[in-house]
A and B are shown apart, each in its own frame.
Chain A
Amino acid sequence: MPGETIPKPIAGDNNSIAAQYARAKAAKDAADRKKVAAIMKENGLALQGDKAPQKTTLEKLYERKAGAFKREWCWVVGFFAWLFCIHASGIFFFTKGFLLTRLVLEEKSSCQEPPIELSSTFKGAGEPEAGCWHPKTFDKAVVIIIDALRYDFTVPFHNTTTNPAQAFHNALPFLYDTAVSEPHNAFLLPFIADPPTTTLQRLKGLTTGTLPTFIDAGSNFAGTAIEEDNLLMQLKDAGKRIAHLGDDTWTALFPGYFEEGISRAYDSFNVWDLHTVDNGVVEHLNPLLGKDKKGLWDVTIAHFLGVDHAGHRYGPNHPAMTAKLQQMDSVLRDVVAKLDDETLLVVMGDHGMDGKGDHGGESEDEVQAALWMYSKKGVFGRTDPTFTIPPATAKIRPVNQIDLVPTLALLLGLPIPFNNLGSPIEEAFVGKKGVAWQNLAAVARMTAAGIKRYQAAYYEARGMDESTIAGSPHALWSIAEQAMISGTNKEQRWKDSYATFSAYEAETLRICRSLWARFDVPSMLLGISILAAGVLALVLYANAHAEAGSTDPALIEELDRAELELELASFAKGELAEDEPQSRSFVLTALRGIGCAVGPVLFILTGEGLTHDLLGGLSVCGLLGGLFIELKGRDLLSNPFPSTFWGWLAVIFTVSQSIGYASNSYTIWEDSILLFFISTFGALGAISSLRQQRSADRTLGVYHSLAFIALGWVASYSKLCREEQMPYCKSTYYASATSSTSAPWQLIIPFTLAVFLPEVIKSYYSSSRSYEGFAPVWIGWALRGGLILSAVFWILDAADDGDWFPYLAAGRLKSLRVPIAQTIFASTVGAGTTAFGYAIPCVSISTTAPHGASSKDAQMKTQAGSTVTILGYANTHGARYFLLVTNILLAVLMVQKPMGGGAIALMTWQILSLLEIIDLNSLSTSPIGPIILALLGSFHFFKTGHQATLSSIQWESAFIPLHTIRYPWSPLLVALNTFGAHILAAAALPLIVLWKQKPKKKGILKAVASALAWHLAYYAVVSLATTMWAGWLRRHLMLYRIFSPKFMVASAVLLIVDVIGILVALAGVRWNTLSVAEVFGWA
């Protein structure tokens, strides 16, 4: 219509971007409206007035699109929330079966209070000098542990041609020979260990008399010191002095127990060294047995490691083992020669070894150790004369390792430790002639009473009724009590009561073993299946959305307009059908199951019984099954295997690493492996970039790829080594290996960041001319200001630590720096988030003549012929969304030490380079981007001073913005510190899709949902794998140290990224899209 004027700018702020854009766009819209009017006329629709109704039509269309977007967004969020529930329930069920807990009771046995009335009184009862609960036999004891002394090492082997002797046979004959030749002085028995057969676990059992479990709830989880009642504690309380020589595991378990000056601990981890520990023990043991030093100790513990190390290094059938056993033989002969009459000598293996010389598992060779007791007093006996010959194999007359606890306690006149479940060893109490049935019955009764007392206390603490436990040995107890008093023959009475008390003890042990020391394998399997099904659901979802999300990047403005016209036309006719979001169908099906999935889990958490567990699990399984059938019916089940090189690369990175977690080495060296993968991706990115047609693209692609590699490499020099990485790793995260403060030079890092990080981000904005709108204020001022404050914070922190200003009152610096940290948090989390919600896109619209406008900007010719240029148009979505990432960046950076802050900054730079690589190679719909982002998150987890160990948690980060522990903030801050890199990666995830996207990009939400699903798939696969391996390797030597912590970290990361994906990534995309659409209209 000739003569039509350009409409006035819309009401509101004249300077707002929206107003500017509207003004510029008005010229175009005028033409649009003409067309709309024509279309509507064609369709016989009456036009009321000139412009108003047409405008309403467009607005209506936009409104409808906005509504559709919001609905779809809700469904997407619904899917990921459902997924979170699935992950949580999978991890819950696995953990329930895996981390068996036993309550550690605080109670201690005391000398004066036996668990039951003494059956016969003796002089000095209730005093350690005479014997607390039973007359003592020995004053002193020498306990020698020969690590990994298997029972068949000690018994003679008859060499035949068909079955020749191995290297370990007949090399240590002393124990057997003395047991045969001096049966009153010595006995030798098979000594059965409870798995896991690791020294640490065994020493716990050998001193407390309890069964090993995963978490001894109530004890300090991170520390190793034994806090429950044990033999050494009783020795100490009785005023006995303990000397210790050898394996330093003892000093970790019993810090401060051993006499200084005469004790010597040796490092136990160098399994290649066969002699240092043993020679050291021999060197210090001999003087202790001599006259001069005899008076300095009451109990001496000597722990030899040579046999174990020879096994680990060479295996049992090797001359080194022969030599080692022969050395032990002569050492024992020397010790016996020096022993006085009042001293008991105990020699034992803490576990055996398998055919290769390793241990930790539950195979027979691993659990069958040897026990030999010796004294010159001649008090030992046998209940049967044939028992004088020690058993030929460990199958005959074995005793449990925990049996040593009551035996030693009663022999030394100590109270039996409160938690003990062992029974006294009959050879030690039956007397020389083997007929001291009264004595035997008394010790069995006393021990059984202790066990009974412990059981009652345990069930009470657990809030359970003892009588409801199946197979309760209560009946046995009353029979035994009865046997004590009834019966004709005195000896027969004691014999019977000994037998029934022993039966009671054995039965209780059996029940406890079934309660504690067994993993709940069905529950673990259930958890693993839920996680596996979750992975499958994720991959299917990601694939279904990836296809929907890919659009031709070459869509030109004109095409958009034509499409809009078409849409308008059909909308006017009322034909425009709304696509059903795929998430909706997915979630609707899932919803049916959510109730049953979440409900039972809550039930269990509130302490319901076993049946509910099963119900919960079954419902989750049913839900997943139903989901897949539904999917099949809807034909959403596309081929889950990748079709491109990049897709395969993503699979290889994820799967190979996950398989690697089955090996302790790959778990230990995870950070190096991640660097390897990250560099590999960078190299392939460079190769791929070289394939681009335009030489500018090639140059940029190679530049960003090399930057990506180099930044990762630089970051890799921030290290906090775990113990197992020694000596091949040097920690740089802190000032020294033994400190947790930053080195002075590291204080430069925060200032460097304040100067350069905003510049780096600016340079990436500038490449798409997006450093417009809020960006300069946000990045150049707000972010920089935050970084400067952070730098000041660390200076004040260092000043406090180093006492630079001694004249300042204590706490003055802390009261200064805490508000600084609080300011940063308030500005990022509070103000930053709000500002992001209202921020305008990072574009600037100019109506002047174009200055070097390129495809990155959009141009529109007005009727007057002048050109309207929108700077930053090409990266409208990405540049705006990145503002949210800077918020998260600052929050994460704040809780990191200076070195970690540097790593996080390098990670940010790497993310920006990754985005450019992804964009230049058109990979925004490929799974590789989200997977590499997940690799970056995992990599920088290590670079921010963490390891998959509990000891590397930086608890002190809770105090960065707070003076005291405050819930829920303190745990959240520690989580932000620990998983900061993962959180930043997840927050940056939508950028894979949004970076360098024009405002009218279609299907953004679908593409983001797909990317998020890929991203989560990485963590879900890792979590599934570590869960599986931890379950499979549940008796592995390194379970506590390596597999279990890794499983915990992976599970925590999965859940946290689930939450961040919803709360930051999806929420951010919603705001972002609405804000962009408000200015530019809906695609």
Chain B
Amino acid sequence: MSSSGAKAQSSAAKLSLPVELLPSEVARIFTHIHPVLLLSAYYARFHSLVADPVHTLLSGILPLAITQILYAVLCLPATGSDKRPTLKKKLNAPKKVSSDNNLVSKVFTVFFALVLSLLSTPVLAAVQVLFGAPITTHLLHTLLGSAHIALLAAFPLIYVHGSDSAKWREIASAYSPADEIFGGSVGCLVGAWLGAVPIPLDWDREWQKWPVTIVTGAYMGYVAGKLIGGRLLKGKRIEFD
């Protein structure tokens, strides 16, 4: 399904490159801590999630947001910042000079990305409803689950790509080159999709209730997608034909 997209590159005028992490040591380390942090926190909260999804999802939003913000600030190039972080690596000196500026713009970008990803929450909830989620009941469950998916899948993308419309069209058509961020987002959505699979089974387990499996799938898919996109298939594109 994936190929390097040599054919596509020739047909489309200009195609984006995969996003590279910030060239710092912190970024390199934290990007490995990040999935472990997410999964272990998720695992720790799993029983409480099964017992009381609404409360647990609600109280989980803030820690998740902090984790994602940390990940974005420490590892990812913010939108509008130098698009070629590799260059920066070579010129180590100016890094400090622009740090003040950088901080302000980063704070702004984080805020901007947070607001937009929270705005995408109702859209994600609507998609779930269209796929068959209950609409008359469990609305809060769906919205809170969507908020988690938004923070996982949408927030890093917005942080990195801002409002670059050409890039967003690429992302919306799932034709962005694989990298950590895009891979994580696709993985998160595919995981949430697969999360619907065990719901109808008559095992009568508590964890089968809405939206536990969806959120679980989203978290696992996010981590898997992040690893696959960032390592195994970096730079590849999803080809349909």
Contact = CB atoms under 8 A, between A and B. Distances in A.
Nearest to B174: A687
Given A645-B238, A687-B173, A669 B193 contact: no
Contacts of B240: 644-646, 688, 691, 921
A663 B198 CA distance: 11
Interface stretch (A676-684, A758-766, A826-834): A676-684
B206 interface: no
B130 interface: yes
A589 B18 CA distance: 54
A665 B205 CA distance: 14
B82 interface: no
A710 B126 CA distance: 11
B4 to A, nearest CB: 16
A122 interface: no
A766 B238 CA distance: 34
Interface in B149-191: 169, 172-175
Contacts of B200: 665-666, 668-669, 672-673
Contacts of A716: 132
Contacts of B173: 687-691
Contacts of B204: 272
Given A645-B241, A676-B196, A716-B132, A683 B169 contact: no
B29 interface: no
A455 interface: no
A743 to B, nearest CB: 18
Nearest to B200: A669
A665 B208 CA distance: 13
A675 interface: yes
Contact of A680 (B131, B169, B201, B238): B131
B194 to A, nearest CB: 11
A254 interface: no
A691 B132 contact: no
B132 A676 contact: yes
B1 A665 contact: no
A645 B1 contact: yes
A713 B175 contact: no
Nearest to A667: B200
Among B130, B174, B204, the one with the most A-chain Cβ atoms within 10 Å of its Cβ is: B130
A587 B173 CA distance: 43
A709 interface: yes
B169 to A, nearest CB: 6
Majority secondary structure of chain A interface residues (helix, strand, loop or mixed)? helix
A482 to B, nearest CB: 58
Nearest to A716: B132
B52 interface: no
Contact of A691 (B127, B131, B175, B193): B175
A459 interface: no
B202 A664 contact: yes
A648 interface: yes
A669 B199 CA distance: 10
A687 B172 CA distance: 6
A665 B131 contact: no
Contacts of B175: 691
B1 A676 contact: no
A262 B130 CA distance: 51
Among B169, B172, B200, B204, the one with the most A-chain Cβ atoms within 10 Å of its Cβ is: B200
Interface string A625-650: 00000000000000000001110100
Contacts of A669: 200
Among B1, B132, B202, the one with the most A-chain Cβ atoms within 10 Å of its Cβ is: B132
Contacts of A272: 204
Contacts of B174: 687
Contacts of A664: 202
A713 B130 contact: yes
Contact of A675 (B127, B132, B169, B172): B132
Given A645-B1, A665-B202, A688-B173, A676 B238 contact: no
Nearest to B8: A691
- Chain B interface size band reads 20 to 34
Nearest to A691: B173
Interface residues of A, number: 28
Given A648-B1, A664-B202, A672 B132 contact: yes
A690 B241 CA distance: 14
Contacts of A690: 169, 172-173
A669 B202 CA distance: 11
A455 B170 CA distance: 76
A584 B217 CA distance: 50
Contacts of B131: 675-676, 679-680
A665 B173 CA distance: 34
Among A669, A691, A716, the one with the most B-chain Cβ atoms within 10 Å of its Cβ is: A691
A932 B240 CA distance: 16
Contacts of B241: 644-646
B193 A645 contact: no
A663 B132 contact: no
B130 A679 contact: yes
B139 to A, nearest CB: 16
A925 B169 CA distance: 27
B44 to A, nearest CB: 29
Contacts of B193: 680
Given A645-B238, A666-B200, A683 B127 contact: yes
A663 B132 CA distance: 20
Interface string B107-138: 00000000000000000000101111000000
A675 B132 CA distance: 7
A61 B62 CA distance: 76
B201 A663 contact: yes
Nearest to A669: B200
Among A668, A672, A710, the one with the most B-chain Cβ atoms within 10 Å of its Cβ is: A672
A669 B131 CA distance: 14
B38 to A, nearest CB: 25
B12 to A, nearest CB: 8
Contacts of B201: 663, 665-666
Contacts of B239: 645
A178 to B, nearest CB: 38
A668 B202 CA distance: 10
Contacts of A676: 131-132, 196
B222 to A, nearest CB: 18
A677 to B, nearest CB: 10
A644 B202 CA distance: 35
Contacts of B202: 664-665, 668
A63 B202 CA distance: 62
B88 to A, nearest CB: 32
A668 B201 CA distance: 10
A687 B193 CA distance: 16
B164 to A, nearest CB: 15
A765 B219 CA distance: 45
Among B1, B131, B175, the one with the most A-chain Cβ atoms within 10 Å of its Cβ is: B131
Contacts of B127: 683
19 contacts: A644-B240, A645-B1, A645-B240, A645-B241, A646-B241, A665-B202, A675-B131, A680-B193, A687-B172, A687-B173, A687-B174, A689-B173, A691-B240, A709-B130, A710-B130, A713-B130, A713-B132, A716-B132, A921-B240
Interface of B: 1, 127, 129-132, 169, 172-175, 193, 196, 200-202, 204, 238-241
Interface of A: 272, 644-646, 648, 663-666, 668-669, 672-673, 675-676, 679-680, 683, 687-691, 709-710, 713, 716, 921
Given A645-B238, A645-B240, A921-B240, 4 more contacts: A646-B240, A666-B201, A680-B193, A687-B174
5 closest residue pairs by CB, A with B: A690-B173, A669-B200, A691-B173, A645-B240, A665-B202
